[in-house]
Amino acid sequence: MNEWLANGLVVDIILLALVLEAGLLALLGRVRRLGVTLWLPNIAAGAALLVALRLAIADAAWTWVAAALGLALLAHVIDLRLRFEPQR
């Protein structure tokens, strides 16, 4: 298990599961006529955090890790804004 963590394989598997989840949600959203705005920012924030973790494990330059964390923050702020936007 430590080897999976050390080389980032577990993060890759989780990212793959996240992509599959997004695809399933998109498919279900089309069937039920729901927009992606309900879930896409949340998944994007989580994916960006996982990418930042993967980059850190791979010993990438700090600028790439910071960029991934910045994208996670942006997606999170968008998610919060959509959640707490006054209903019309």
Each residue of 52-61: pLDDT tens digit?
999 999 999 9
From the CB of residue 52, how many other CB atoms can be counted at a distance below 10 Å? 21
Q: Where are the domains of the chain?
A: 2-83
Predicted TM-score (pTM) of this structure: 0.86
Q: What is the mean pLDDT of residues 64-84?
A: 95
> Across the chain, what does the average pLDDT equal?
89
Look at residues 40, 18, 19, 16 and name the one whose alpha carbon lies nearest to residue 29: 40
Query: CA neighbours within 13 Å on the CB side: how many for 35?
Result: 4
Chain CA centroid to CA 40, Å: 9
- Torsions phi, psi of 52, nearest 5? -60, -40
Query: Could you tell me if 79 and 49 are in contact, meaning their C-beta atoms sit under 8 angstroms apart?
Result: no
Query: Could you tell me if 14 and 50 are in contact, meaning their C-beta atoms sit under 8 angstroms apart?
Result: yes
